[in-house]
Amino acid sequence: MTISNSEFSSNTAAAFGGGLADLGGGHLTVAGCTFNGNRAFHGGGLVIETSGTLSNTTISGNVAGQQGGGISIAFSGQVVLQNCTITDNQAGETAGGIFSGTEVLLNATVVAKNSAAAGDPDVDNNTSAADLVDNGENFIGDNTGAANSFTAGTPNVNGSFVGTAAAGPLDPLLEPLADNGGTVVLPDGSHLLTHQDDANNGNNGVRDRAPNGNASDERGFSVFNGACDIGAFEFQDCDLSVTTSAPAGALRPGQPATFTLAVTSNGPNACPFDPILTATLPSGTIVVSASGNATANGNVVTFLVPPLTVGSSTSFTLTVIPAASGPFTETATVSGHDDPNPPNNTASASVTVQPRAIPATGSADVTGLLQIVPQGRRRPKMLWFVRLTNASSTPIQGPLGVVVPGLRRGRRPKLLDAGGMIADGKKFVLVNVGSDGIFEPGQSVLVELLFSLPVKVPGVDVVAGALA
């Protein structure tokens, strides 16, 4: 029987093999599989009672009531474990990782960080050195229960890293089980769950410690540097970085603003998977558009990043409408697995969304918000200058219209530079207040009033917004 590219998760058996039980028959081949969260009395993850080969397989988080929290092998022909990871399993009695009562050869396999209530947390060879064989380049956290199979050493004569209870178990430095990508997509759209390995720290860690391991890992990704990692995971060592920037100028509620995001491949290796970029926005933000292959779900936008060669980059734009004034932060994150430099996987652009300008619609008299200071006259009493300053803390929606009320009757002078007429029939001088059309707090503008006849200007009123 051959099983490949499959995941066995959260199954329960009353007796043998929570995920899988092969109790006899032909040769069993398991390749590129994950056994996770299964439970049984014997062999929480799986039970094998036939000859077999397990390759690039993860056995993690399984529980046995008795022996073999991860895997139990007995009454069978030879079984070979090649580049497997057996970790985080539990047993109610012994052999939290692997129990063997027959010949089992381990090559480039991790058995570590398991637990057993009665002892032998990782390995148990049923007192027979021939039932667990160190074929080289393995990583055994604690050899208690099979010390005659796995000689302690860092490395030992077989090139294996083997810890002891007395000296302190070795740690493979594995991250929690997660979707770390892969060439095979499961029916639910995810990939096989795997344990990423972290950089070696002294004798702990499994990176590049198996020169004779498989040419690719459980995910289908290739080996680099001429030596594979011990276990089912091969670290791809591809540094991705992300930057993001906010638009120039003031942001305001209800008005669109475009952010720019960029992802760069810094090497040393090219990523064998398509990275995922996410942009997280404040709650209530409206997503107007996003470039590339993007989807929005509430305040999170996800971009599919195309394959990147080392040194190349790609950029995206994201146009949003802030919901309210105040601090606004857009946070960009690119997929972090297989990355030697996680801190540069996240970047943020923070801005302050300015208060909404008034009037929001139509027009309004804003004279009371302004400081109005006459600046003198020319062509005696025919050309006047007035400086307007927004003395409030509220932005004013432009353009502005300056109205001269109370002109004398009789020889009515005309306002020669009038730009229009407000609703009550009074003419106004049009004042533009910049490219964004907003008269900001503290902003000042000099206005010229040109009359057809000499006139004394008693004062001016100012309207703003949609002028008639």
- pLDDT tens per residue across span 283-310: 999 999 999 999 999 999 999 999 899 9
Query: Cα separation of 195 and 182, whole Å?
Result: 13
- Whether 134 and 106 have beta carbons less than 8 Å apart is answered as yes
Per-residue model confidence as pLDDT tens digits over 88-108: 999 999 999 999 999 999 999
**Cα→Cα distances 243→154, 170, 176, 304, 438, Å:** 41, 38, 27, 16, 30
Per the prediction, the chain carries an average pLDDT of 92
Q: How confident is the model at residue 382 (pLDDT cuts 50, 70, 90)?
A: confident
Whether residue 368 has pLDDT greater than 90: yes
Quick one: pLDDT at residue 361? 83
Whether residue 409 has pLDDT greater than 70: no
List the strands of the sheet with 444-450, edge to edge: 370-378, 383-390, 444-450
Query: Cα separation of 37 and 12, whole Å?
Result: 9
Fold of the CATH domain 363-465: Immunoglobulin-like (2.60.40)
Whether residue 416 has pLDDT greater than 80: yes
* Residues 261-282 as b or e (16 or more Cβ within 10 Å = b): bbbbbbeebebbbebebbbbbb
Whether residue 419 has pLDDT greater than 90: no
Q: Which two tokens stand for residue 266?
A: 């810094």
Residue 20 burial (10 A CB sphere; 0-12, 13-18, 19+): buried
Q: Which range is least confidently modeled, 144-158, 220-234, 427-441?
A: 427-441
**Cα→Cα distances 388→12, 230, 373, 419, 440, Å:** 78, 74, 7, 17, 12
Query: Cα separation of 464 and 83, whole Å?
Result: 73
Quick one: pLDDT at residue 377? 78
Per-residue model confidence as pLDDT tens digits over 185-203: 999 989 999 999 999 999 9
Q: Which range is least confidently modeled, 217-221, 235-239, 455-459?
A: 455-459
Q: Which range is least confidently modeled, 189-203, 325-339, 378-392?
A: 378-392
- Quick check: helix, strand or coil at residue 369? helix
Of 135, 128, 80, 76, give the one whose Cα is nearest residue 104. 80
Per-residue model confidence as pLDDT tens digits over 32-43: 999 999 999 999
Peptide bond into 187 cis (omega under 30): no
Whether residue 408 has pLDDT greater than 60: no
Q: How confident is the model at residue 466 (pLDDT cuts 50, 70, 90)?
A: confident
Query: Cα separation of 277 and 243, whole Å?
Result: 11
Quick one: pLDDT at residue 468? 62
The one-letter amino acid at 164:
T
239-353: in CATH 3.40.640.10: no
Whether residue 410 has pLDDT greater than 80: no
Instruction: State the average pLDDT over residues 337-343.
Output: 93
Residue 290 φ then ψ, to 5°: -145, 135
Quick one: pLDDT at residue 230? 98
For 144-201, the DSSP string reads TT-TTTS--BTT-TTS-EE-BTTTB-----BPPSEE---S---TTS---EE-PBPPPB
Strands of 204-290 (E only): list them.
238-245, 257-268, 276-280, 286-290
Kindly give the pairing relationship between strand 28-31 and strand 52-55: parallel
Kindly give the pairing relationship between strand 420-421 and strand 427-431: antiparallel
- Whether 192 and 186 have beta carbons less than 8 Å apart is answered as yes
Query: Cα separation of 233 and 58, whole Å?
Result: 9
**Cα→Cα distances 140→51, 99, 113, Å:** 23, 14, 9
